[in-house]
Amino acid sequence: MATNLSNSLEIPSLKISSPKERSLYFSLVIPTYNESQNIKDLVAVLTKLLDEYLPNNYELILVDDDSPDRTWEVAESLTIEYPQLQVIRRKGERGLSTAVIRGWQNADGEVLGVIDGDLQHPPERLLKLIEAVKNGADLAVASRHVDTGGVSNWNLARRFLSRGAQLLGLIILPGVIGRVTDPMSGYFVVRRGVICDRPLDPIGYKILIEVLARGSISKITEVGYVFQERQEGESKVTWKQYLEYISHLLRLRLSLGEFQRFLRFGLVGFSGVFVDMTVLYLLHDPNALGWGLTRSKFIAGEVAIINNFIWNDAWTFNDLSSKQTAWKSKLKRFAKFNLVCLIGLGLNVLLLNLFFNILHIHYQLANLLAIAIVTVWNFWINLKLSWRVTDTGQ
């Protein structure tokens, strides 16, 4: 059944309705953009697998964003031979994650899945994922980072970027990213009941992170898989997807509570940026003292840390620090804050050099980017560590 829904549906935040009257067990969404050479084989393999495993109890929903190579047309022509296949053609909309949610919105299954449309995710692993949900998992994730998992032949740069992105996620959203070994995975199956009636608002590629952050997920099972080399077409991943990933992480970070305090922490951090950059300029710029970048950065960073501690203790965390006004506990807080921020400073220097020496971004912009990322880390760790109320018996 070919459907063209995009124009009719305007939804502020995406909701997936509850499972109660669902007629099917499993709905698998296949997001596609320029995959006309891959989808025939993929649909054939998936249909063969699921006809055996879930006869007449599943559907395939291909969501294509009006691909220039007319993937949607190829897919629509397959619906005669494969009646379980449904095709959604979105016009004027792009994005892997929102395409997946559009598919789930139109799904009838009580269990929802997603698989890439280019055969890089081996279809046969799907049965293991569904089995895991049948055995009680809320979410079953295909992972490259568990036993039997891996990638075929990725070069060092791609491995570094993938793991680097994961590390960044662990810094910004430890409570979400740390729940699975492969949070970047685009191959998983989830119980509808744990994500329905919740506003899902992802950016870019990382639908799993949105599900982990917004869903009420307790039991997670991971299944190893080897990410295959692409035979046809090419990956759509560009720098844009990496920037979208960072803004997705930051948006989740801000929406998952402590927003007001984070705003204050950010403002104080901002004053620290000003102090940091002024001191960095005075020490490093050729028109000023012209000292080495790293040495100048460490001094500038330390001065900014002292500035930030004074304002955070007096304002951002005042409700906590006012419970412990003794000088001893104030010095203890400063020591913890300094330690956390020094680690942050180390991270900052690492990121600064990465952006400056590897990505050739101007040192001031590189410094700003690094500070933004480390600020979120500093906030979360300091909230948990430095201003944690220990004893009120002062």
State the residues that interact with Mn ion by CB under 5 A. Answer: 116, 118, 120
Q: Which does 370 bind (CB under 5 to 8 A by kind): ligand GDD, Mn ion, none?
A: none
Q: What is the DSSP string of 267-283?
A: HHHHHHHHHHHHHHHHH
Q: Which does 307 bind (CB under 5 to 8 A by kind): ligand GDD, Mn ion, none?
A: none
Asked whether 39 and 124 are in contact (CB, 8 A), the reply is no
- Under 8 Å CB-to-CB from 91, ≥6 apart: which residues? 4, 6, 7, 66
Q: How far is the CB of 162 from Mn ion (least distance, A)?
A: 13
Q: Which does 186 bind (CB under 5 to 8 A by kind): Mn ion, ligand GDD, none?
A: ligand GDD
Asked whether 152 and 228 are in contact (CB, 8 A), the reply is yes
Our CB check for Mn ion shows the closer of 71 and 120 to be: 120
* Strand-strand pairing, 188-191 and 109-114: antiparallel
Our CB check for Mn ion shows the closer of 185 and 382 to be: 185
Nearest to 191 by CA among 217, 212, 210: 217
* CA distances (Å), origin 279, targets 158, 210, 273, 301, 369: 36, 39, 10, 9, 18
Q: Which does 255 bind (CB under 5 to 8 A by kind): ligand GDD, Mn ion, none?
A: none
Q: Which does 316 bind (CB under 5 to 8 A by kind): ligand GDD, Mn ion, none?
A: none
List residues binding ligand GDD (CB under 6 A): 31-33, 35, 63-65, 94-96, 99, 116-118, 120, 184-187, 205, 227, 235-237
Our CB check for Mn ion shows the closer of 17 and 231 to be: 231
CA–CA dist 146, 275 (Å, integer): 44
Tally the C-alpha atoms within 13 A of residue 116's C-alpha that lie toward its C-beta.
25
SS3 138: coil
Which residue of the chain is nearest Mn ion when measured via CB? 120
Q: How far is the CB of 89 from ligand GDD (least distance, A)?
A: 10
Q: How far is the CB of 201 from ligand GDD (least distance, A)?
A: 16
Our CB check for ligand GDD shows the closer of 59 and 65 to be: 65
Which residue of the chain is nearest ligand GDD when measured via CB? 186
Torsion region of 264: left, alpha or beta (phi above 0 gives left; psi -120 to 50 gives alpha): alpha
Q: How far is the CB of 121 from Mn ion (least distance, A)?
A: 8
Q: How far is the CB of 71 from Mn ion (least distance, A)?
A: 14
Our CB check for ligand GDD shows the closer of 6 and 79 to be: 6
Q: Is the dihedral of CA 115, 47, 61, 58 positive or negative?
A: negative
Our CB check for Mn ion shows the closer of 227 and 337 to be: 227
Q: How far is the CB of 241 from Mn ion (least distance, A)?
A: 12
CA–CA dist 58, 26 (Å, integer): 5
- Token look-up 């949607």 returns 72
Q: Which does 244 bind (CB under 5 to 8 A by kind): Mn ion, ligand GDD, none?
A: none
Q: How far is the CB of 227 from Mn ion (least distance, A)?
A: 8
